[in-house]
Amino acid sequence: MNRLFLFFAFFILLTFCSFRTTLPTESPKSLSAEPKRIRWLTIQQAYALAQRTPKKFVVDVYTNWCGWCKVMDRQTFTEPAIVDYVNQNYYAVKLNAEQTGDITLGRQTFKFIGGGRRGVHQLAAALMNNRLSYPTTVFMDEKFELIQPIPGYLDPRMFHQIITYFGQNYHRREPFDRYKAGTYARVYH
């Protein structure tokens, strides 16, 4: 009986010890670093910052019901190279095209215009040249002047091409197709 007791005690001790060695010493959250994120701002915050420190703007015009907007949030806006480039070179703005609150920029106030099933915010419509399509990515220069709105979902590779094209002012020197085929093709991996 003593041998049987010792055997079970040894077995339990051995099982406990092996179980303890397989447990991580840290919690899973502390094992992985927090993922990089784009520092999204409201349009008012970005506008105020640009008055002191000029920088280009990238504006993600979205709606809550837009499926491709959510895909872009998950796939494109989480890519580390994109996060780094946007945070360094742009003021990144999220703008809900159907928000109902007024937006004042400088001396101009933009309002929500109700109509149809949903309505649209005046600022969103102005940024998209009244071509309502979601998502639309809008690029603006340091003076808050429109460079170009680009409607539709942009995969990470295409979005990276576009942010570098506008970010480094290639749009002033050459067409996008030439940039994409030439300079960019050699540097993007």
- CB of 113 closer than 8 Å to CB of 59: no
Over residues 61-118, the pLDDT tens digits come to 999 999 999 999 999 999 999 999 999 999 999 999 999 999 999 999 999 999 878 8
Q: Which domain holds residue 135?
A: 34-187
180-188 average pLDDT score: 64
Do residues 81 and 27 lie in contact, with contact meaning Cβ atoms separated by under 8 Å?
no
Question: What tens digit of pLDDT does each residue of 12-30 get?
Answer: 444 444 444 444 444 444 4
Q: 56 φ, ψ to 5°?
A: -65, 165
Cis peptide leading into 80, omega within 30 of 0?
A: no
Please indicate, yes or no, if residue 17 is contained in any of the structural domains: no
Average pLDDT over residues 38-50: 97
14 within some domain: no
Is 13 among the domain residues? no
Indicate whether 103 belongs to any domain.
yes
pTM score above 0.95: no
The mean pLDDT value for 18-44 works out to: 66
On whether residue 118 sits in a domain, the answer given is yes
| Residue 26 domain flag | no
Number of domains in the chain: 1
Q: Which residue has the higher pLDDT, 17 or 172?
A: 172
Residue 62 lies in a domain: yes
List, for residues 116-158, the tens digit of each pLDDT value: 788 999 999 999 999 999 999 999 999 999 999 999 999 999 9
**Please, which pLDDT band fits residue 3 given cuts at 50, 70 and 90?**
low
CATH number for position 160:
3.40.30.10
35 compared with 148, residue with greater pLDDT:
148
pLDDT at 186 over 90: no
Residue 73 lies in a domain: yes
Spatial distance between the Cα atoms of 60 and 139, rounded to a whole number of angstroms: 9
